[in-house]
Structure 1
Amino acid sequence: MSRRDCPTCGKAHKACICPLIVSLASEVELIILQHPTEVRRPLGTARILQLSLPNSHCFTGENFTTHPQLNQLLSEPDTSHFVLYPGEGATCISAVPVPHPQQKVRVILLDGTWKKAYKMWQLSENLHELPRLALPENLKSNYQIRKAPREGCLSTVEAGYHLLSYWQPGQDFTPLLTCFEQMIQFQVAHMSPEVRRRYIFL
């Protein structure tokens, strides 16, 4: 990591998101599986979840089949694990009963481009037996400066926000989106007009 980067959030000091982070309590734990190419991305959003949710976990790799820490978590008794990965075989969270407050639940998020997330899914055989979740199709992303392959694609932090908000409606997770949106606004403000024209802003 460069001296110009914040040692906590990993972003350049001038783009540091640490002052925007709000520590949030969540009964549902998130496990973020991050593709190696996402680690140094200045616009990566997984770090917002990791810093905001003290009980979250973040592991980096591509094939997690034999990943010791992940497999240890998956083997814990009396814990329900899900994978947030849309497509055939996935169940919309609106059709899944909201977990009981005393039920320990973890949800795995794949952090990467759709192509890389697909490869992570294909390689990580330990995920294939877990029930899969999908978010409602009508959700829209505010990730203005990173093009998505199709409508309805969300950033990792947006996906985490919607999942946690749906399953824990009594808790306010909007600080996740506030941090995300301010990070985006900072990046837009520091773009050259030429770069800005490459994107369609909402």
Structure 2
Amino acid sequence: MSRYCEKCGKAQKACICHWIQVIDAKTELWILQHPSEVKRAIGTARILTLSLPNARLWVGEDFSQHEELNALLAEPTRDAWLIYPGEEAVAISSLVTESVESSQVRTLILLDGTWKKAYKMWQLSSNLQQLPTVSLDNAEQGNYRIRKSPKVQGVSTVEAGFLALDALEGRDVDFSPLLDTFDRMIEFQIQQMPAGVYEKNYRS
């Protein structure tokens, strides 16, 4: 038997599959994952792909020549936005009132990596630089208790996905199971730490 779960990719004892709840969202969510994130025990992107039937994930650093991604972005019926807090980014709340034709497919793209790695992915990927950007103006300080972020409002990938989808569809769909799974995963990892390690290194 493999040490790792075939579905979530995590160690068998840390498998998150039994916490996953499938959620139907109209908005497509694409995750572009930096290679350094693939085997992280505390990675959260898999929560999104397991919970959301229309979520997709690709691994890489420079997506400029990614054929599948570029083909999908070129579809005339697709309305794609990159979740990235650039200078020209519009607030996610502004998209809520923006009308989308029934024939259009709204797609949100997340960069899964540290702030430094995400910035490099954006710099290298010329196709991503052509996309309109959106920021999460509904974000507060994240609950990623075992991975510090240099940003006051730094959130994990699953939290970013939750905030974006909740802003757009929260009136009709309950996305809280995403955070429930995330909290359970983090709590499990904390319980595996030697006594005093969490208090010493992560609690402020």
TM-score with structure 1 length normalisation?
0.94
Provide the residue aligned with 2:203 in structure 1: 200
Q: Which amino acid aligns with 1:120?
A: M
Provide the residue aligned with 1:181 in structure 2: 183
CA distance in 2, matches of 1:143, 1:60: 22
How far the C-alpha of 1:50 sits from its partner, in A, is 0.7
Across the two proteins, how many residue pairs are aligned to each other? 200
CA distance in 2, matches of 1:101, 1:48: 29
Per mean C-alpha deviation after superposition, the further-off stretch among 131-140 and 142-151 is: 131-140
For 1:117-196, what aligned pairs fall within 5 Å after superposition? 117-136=118-137, 138-169=139-170, 170-196=172-198
How far the C-alpha of 1:39 sits from its partner, in A, is 0.3
Provide the residue aligned with 1:36 in structure 2: 35
Provide the residue aligned with 2:72 in structure 1: 73
CA distance in 2, matches of 1:146, 1:3: 27
1:19-75 alpha-carbon deviations (Å, 9 max, x no partner): 011111011001100000000000000000011111111000000000011111101
Confirm or deny: 8 A CA contact 2:31 2:109 kept in the other structure: yes
Confirm or deny: 8 A CA contact 1:137 1:152 kept in the other structure: no
How far the C-alpha of 1:95 sits from its partner, in A, is 2.2
How far the C-alpha of 1:87 sits from its partner, in A, is 2.5
CA distance in 2, matches of 1:41, 1:138: 24
For 1:60-99, what aligned pairs fall within 5 Å after superposition? 60-96=59-95, 97-99=97-99
Confirm or deny: 8 A CA contact 1:5 1:13 kept in the other structure: yes
Over the matched positions of the two proteins, sequence identity in percent amounts to 50
Give the direction of change, closer, same or farther, for the CA distance of 1:26–1:138 in structure 2 (3 Å limit): closer
Whether 2:55 is the aligned partner of 1:56: answer yes
Which secondary structure does the structure 1 equivalent of 2:130 belong to? coil
1:142-170 alpha-carbon deviations (Å, 9 max, x no partner): 10000011210010000000100110021
How far the C-alpha of 1:193 sits from its partner, in A, is 2.3
Across the aligned residues of Structure 1 and Structure 2, the Cα RMSD in angstroms comes to 1.5
Which secondary structure does the structure 2 equivalent of 1:193 belong to? coil
How far the C-alpha of 1:79 sits from its partner, in A, is 1.0
Confirm or deny: 8 A CA contact 2:93 2:168 kept in the other structure: no
CA distance in 2, matches of 1:99, 1:41: 38
How far the C-alpha of 1:101 sits from its partner, in A, is 7.4
CA distance in 2, matches of 1:192, 1:140: 26
Q: Which amino acid aligns with 2:179?
A: L
How far the C-alpha of 1:137 sits from its partner, in A, is 6.1
CA distance in 2, matches of 1:154, 1:50: 17
Shift >6 Å, 4+ stretches:
none
Q: Which amino acid aligns with 1:123?
A: L
